[in-house]
Chain A
Amino acid sequence: MRKGARLMGDAILTEGLSKRFGDTTALAGVDLRVPAGTVFALLGPNGAGKTTVVRVLATLLCPDAGRAEVGGHDVLREAHRVRQLIGLTGQYASVDTRLTGMENLQLIGRLLGMPRREARHRARELLDQFGLADAGGNAVGTFSGGMRRRLDLAASLVGRPPVLFLDEPTTGLDPRARSELWDLIRRLVSTGATALLTTQYLDEADALADEVVVIDHGEVVATGTSEELKSRVGARTLAVRPADPARVQDARAAVADLTGAAPDVKDDLITAPVGDAALLPAVVRRLDDEGVLVAELTLRGSSLAEVFFTLTGRPAEDGAGGGQAGAA
């Protein structure tokens, strides 16, 4: 039986991981190292190859080239050992909508070799922990999106696996359900488990991960702690629109001076990445000093598109073109 075990050394290791689906390159040589006990985020747009990485690591997909290890075990040659160490929650690893929440968790406990009573006990414990105790007896088909995700997450934890794969755990959830799930994930990883999280949201990676790898078109484009990445790309974006279009160049110069970045100007809207929120008052004072009237001034979280633009110099493609590669 698996206990809430911890791993030592690297929990996850990949070298030169490659995978093609027909003409689409899903992974073009991905190297990752995830030390045990850390939360690691794979950040990228639809079709970047995030899910493919998770599927290879979860023994669901054979890579064309390269190798991958979980807990020191090769995912191909020692797949069964790897499966004993992992829990998978994701877009494509789902619970059975025709069973109740309780039955879903019991089923997994039984499949993991727990005696009936222990499986029932563990299921109840998880339902309580995930705020599903009242709904546990209902068919999952009647659950809300947020409840479904929580049950998905609970299902991956039945065997207390030391390595967790969370594939876009909050995509499609409303902000409230999202922050609830974040809290749950934070609590989980505080027990010493290793988690690999994929996400399309910079703020999610920022909120949860110790280390972030940005991937695009199956390649790693940046690696670092969330702080490092933020200081490189600017965690936030400052947007300024002068009331008088004639003053755009003045405003642009002021923003460039204060942020140290090269602002982008489009339709009189000046945008620039900023690392530090404290910059906002300085911008306001400066524009006031120069007598530039401002029609719009905002500081918002950088979108993934902006991060990509900063890192790769090209716009992130939208999911539309990703198609199957996105799904894979």
Chain B
Amino acid sequence: MTGPGNGTATAPRVTLAQGVRQSLTLAWRTLVQVRHNPFELTDFSIQPIMFVLLFTYVFGGAVAGSTDAYLKFMLPGLIVMNMLFVTLYVGQGLNTDVTKGVFDRLRSLPIARWAPLAGRIAADQVKQAWSIVLVLAVGLILGFRLGSPGVPGVIGAAVLLLAFALAFSWVAVLVGLLAKDAERVQIFGFTSLFPLTFVSNVFVPVDSMPGWLQGFVNINPVSKLADACRGLMLGGEVAEPVIASLAWALGIAAVFAPLSVRVFKRKI
């Protein structure tokens, strides 16, 4: 006869509390990886700093007449751009886990099916928060000053960015699951995120672009987010761009979350 023997009592399912704890454990694991791979820290720390410096001092004078004026115009948008690139870590990490077999080990454990994904995304939020603080700090050192909304405005901008990152992570999850290897996730990032962020109002004013491009720039979620961050950090219009950004976030999540979950389940 088949049957479990003595001492092998098993639980029928994972509880929600267990799932949350497992997700946090897996988030911990993702962050510990950074400790052993200083290159990754360099990646998401040096690159944003370099961008701030390059754009401010190379383009600032030409685009805005002075580096100070340009820093004020560009920094909120640069934070947005940086946020999009940081979401790629979710995709790369997931891809590495799947291709290297770590995922199979995790899935053979009695843990919540969603914990590996949730853990990745939770860890990504920590990286996001870190890089927002970093870019802002470099900006402040170079002379960026907050406007009338002050600190509550910055906190609002950070919350909005994290919320958008959460939604956009699903795009990264999908790419991570479909890509053959982690390098391809990176390639996707460069070939899609660079145009997306440059064809926006992050680096230059919209009215300097040809009319056919302006149409896209004006609906580009990156423009909306950049406007929202400008409003929240410097003062100015807030409601419209914030609502538009949140609408984009919801739209992206509504399309990519179910798609990713489907691929996730099929893959596995």
Contact = CB atoms under 8 A, between A and B. Distances in A.
Given A90-B101, A91-B101, 13 more contacts: A5-B5, A6-B7, A7-B4, A58-B104, A60-B268, A69-B2, A72-B4, A78-B12, A81-B10, A88-B104, A94-B104, A108-B105, A162-B8
18 contacts: A8-B4, A9-B5, A10-B2, A55-B104, A80-B13, A85-B8, A88-B105, A94-B102, A96-B100, A96-B102, A98-B33, A98-B36, A99-B32, A107-B26, A111-B22, A111-B109, A112-B110, A155-B105
Nearest to A55: B104
B145 interface: no
A86 B108 contact: yes
B66 to A, nearest CB: 44
B58 interface: no
A185 B208 CA distance: 70
Contacts of B14: 80
Interface string B1-25: 1111111101111100010001001
A161 to B, nearest CB: 10
A113 B25 CA distance: 10
B262 interface: no
Interface residues on B, range: 35 or more
Contacts of B109: 83, 108, 111-112
B107 interface: yes
B180 interface: no
A81 B11 contact: yes
Contacts of A85: 4, 8, 10
A111 B111 contact: yes
Contacts of B26: 107, 111
A36 B5 contact: yes
A2 B115 CA distance: 20
B107 A71 contact: no
B31 to A, nearest CB: 11
Contacts of B192: none
B33 A60 contact: no
Interface of B: 1-8, 10-14, 18, 22, 25-26, 28-29, 32-33, 36-37, 97, 100-102, 104-111, 115, 268
B29 A99 contact: yes
A97 B100 contact: yes
B2 A13 contact: yes
Contacts of B104: 55, 58, 60, 88, 90, 92-94
A78 to B, nearest CB: 8
A18 interface: no
A5 B8 contact: yes
A100 interface: yes
A45 to B, nearest CB: 21
A2 B104 CA distance: 20
Contacts of A10: 1-2
Contact of B29 (A13, A69, A96, A97): A96
Contact of A99 (B18, B36, B110): B36
A73 B10 contact: yes
A72 B102 CA distance: 27
Contacts of B33: 96, 98-99
A172 to B, nearest CB: 14
Nearest to A165: B108
Interface in A84-135: 84-86, 88, 90-100, 103, 107-108, 110-113
B256 to A, nearest CB: 25
Contacts of A93: 101, 104-105, 108
A122 to B, nearest CB: 14
Nearest to B93: A98
A95 B13 contact: no
A305 interface: no
A93 B110 CA distance: 15
Nearest to A58: B108
Nearest to B29: A107
Contacts of A99: 29, 32-33, 36
A172 B12 CA distance: 38
A176 to B, nearest CB: 24
Given A97-B100, A99-B33, A113-B18, A59 B8 contact: no
B36 A100 contact: yes
Nearest to A13: B2
A69 B4 CA distance: 11
Contacts of A69: 2
A71 B8 contact: yes
Interface centre among B7, B8, B26, B28 (most CB of A within 10 A): B8
Contacts of A73: 4, 10
A77 to B, nearest CB: 10
A94 B14 CA distance: 23
B44 to A, nearest CB: 15
A62 B218 CA distance: 47
